[in-house]
Amino acid sequence: MTTPHNAANPGDIAKTVLMPGDPLRAKFVADTYLEDVKCYNEVRGMYGFTGLYKGKPVSVQGHGMGMPSIGIYTYELYNMYDVDNIIRIGSAGAIREDVKIMDMVLGMGACTDSNYAYQYGMPGTYAPIATYDLLEKAVRIAREKDQKFFVGNILSADIFYNPLGSTPWKEMGVLAVEMEAAALYMNAAQAKKNALCMLTISDELHSGKELPAHDRQVSFRKMMEIALELAISL
Please report the pLDDT score of residue 165 as a whole number: 80
Yes or no: say if 155 and 176 are a contact pair by the CB < 8 Å rule.
yes
CA distance 162 to 71: 22
Q: Which amino acid is at 98?
A: D
Please report the pLDDT score of residue 217 as a whole number: 65
Candidates 2.40.160.20, 3.40.50.300, 3.40.50.1580, 3.20.20.140; CATH matching 16-233: 3.40.50.1580
Chain centroid offset of residue 92 CA: 10
Q: pLDDT > 90: what percent of the chain?
A: 91
**pLDDT of residue 50 exceeding 70:** yes
CA distance 172 to 181: 18
Query: Is 203 a catalytic site residue?
Result: yes
Catalytic residue selected from 12, 22, 103, 203: 203
Q: What ranges do the domains of the chain cover? A: 16-233
Q: What is the pLDDT of residues 190-209, one digit of tens each?
A: 999 999 999 999 999 989 99
CA distance 90 to 26: 11
Please report the pLDDT score of residue 108 as a whole number: 98
Please report the pLDDT score of residue 219 as a whole number: 73
Q: What is the pLDDT of residues 95-124, one digit of tens each?
A: 999 999 999 999 999 999 999 999 999 999
Model pTM score: 0.96
Under the banding of pLDDT at 50, 70 and 90, the label for residue 53 is very high
